[in-house]
């Protein structure tokens, strides 16, 4: 088979070759999905170098776990972007921990803050925890589109392109997910 032959393969067919360890197929796989992966990482972290690192980590992870892809669970693009999304969140957490350690090392935590700011921060953290809890109760496909929209900053059309689905499906999943979250959050406020 020539490399010309595999360029015509659908993602799922190409993924079969990747799962078998074909490096040419993985190169084509990267060419197809690397741009969307970088775009997602960049929009989430806002830093080109970090986004490049996250994308590289994600594709190394994809290569190592290539046999875990299951066609019946979703498209190849959705699987790739899910891995990138999780790797990006991990990178953001690592950076947050690093920043806290650096701040601690500089002795900045000893500065006193006004009690009002502390109270506001406590309320914000409680609200964030509550929202995260409500988000975690959603079905994966609803949670994913909401995260891409609200944490990734993507439009409905961009999400539809990334996940290879109609815009109406994205909007429907988002509407259902937000309605479920609203009901869950209203129940906790009562």
The DSSP secondary-structure symbol of 118 reads: H
pLDDT reported for residue 109: 46
Same domain? For 95 and 117 the reply is no
**Burial class for 18, CB neighbours closer than 10 Å (0-12, 13-18, 19+):** buried
Same domain? For 66 and 144 the reply is no
Same domain? For 152 and 85 the reply is no
- pLDDT, one tens digit per residue, over 118-148 is 677 777 777 777 877 887 888 888 888 888 8
Same domain? For 3 and 89 the reply is yes
Same domain? For 18 and 107 the reply is yes
Angle at CA of residue 132, ends 61 and 90, nearest 5°: 25
Last residue of a domain, one of 58, 89, 111: 111
Which domain, by its residues, includes 58? 1-111
**Rounded CA separation 150/3 (Å):** 39
| CATH code assigned at 91 | 1.10.1740.10
pLDDT reported for residue 53: 93
Does pTM top 0.85 for this prediction? Answer: no
Same domain? For 64 and 156 the reply is no
Last residue of a domain, one of 54, 84, 111: 111
**Rounded CA separation 102/57 (Å):** 24
Same domain? For 138 and 189 the reply is yes
pLDDT reported for residue 115: 53
pLDDT reported for residue 91: 84
Same domain? For 127 and 157 the reply is yes
Same domain? For 89 and 132 the reply is no
List the structure tokens of 171: 């909007």
Q: For each of the chain's 190 residues, which pLDDT tens digit applies?
A: 445 589 889 989 999 999 999 999 999 999 999 999 999 998 888 889 999 999 999 999 999 988 888 888 888 998 899 999 989 888 888 776 655 666 555 554 455 555 555 677 777 777 777 877 887 888 888 888 888 887 777 788 888 887 888 999 999 999 998 999 888 888 765 5
């Amino acid at each position: 088979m020539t490399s010309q032959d595999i360029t015509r393969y659908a993602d799922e067919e190409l993924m079969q070759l990747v799962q078998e360890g074909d490096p040419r197929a993985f190169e084509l796989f990267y060419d197809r999905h690397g741009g969307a992966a970088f775009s997602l990482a960049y929009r989430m972290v806002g830093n080109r170098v970090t986004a490049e690192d996250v994308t590289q980590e994600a594709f190394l992870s994809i290569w190592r776990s290539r046999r875990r892809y299951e066609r019946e669970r979703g498209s190849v693009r959705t699987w790739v972007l899910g891995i990138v999304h999780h790797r990006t969140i991990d990178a953001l957490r690592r950076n947050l921990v690093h920043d806290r350690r650096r701040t601690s090392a500089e002795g900045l935590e000893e500065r006193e803050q006004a009690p009002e700011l502390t109270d506001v921060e406590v309320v914000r953290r409680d609200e964030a925890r509550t929202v995260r809890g409500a988000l975690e109760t959603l079905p994966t496909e609803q949670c994913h589109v909401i995260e891409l929209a609200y944490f990734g900053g993507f439009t409905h059309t961009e999400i539809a392109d990334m996940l290879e689905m109609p815009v109406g499906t994205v909007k429907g999943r988002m509407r259902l997910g937000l309605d479920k979250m609203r009901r869950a959050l209203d129940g906790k406020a009562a």
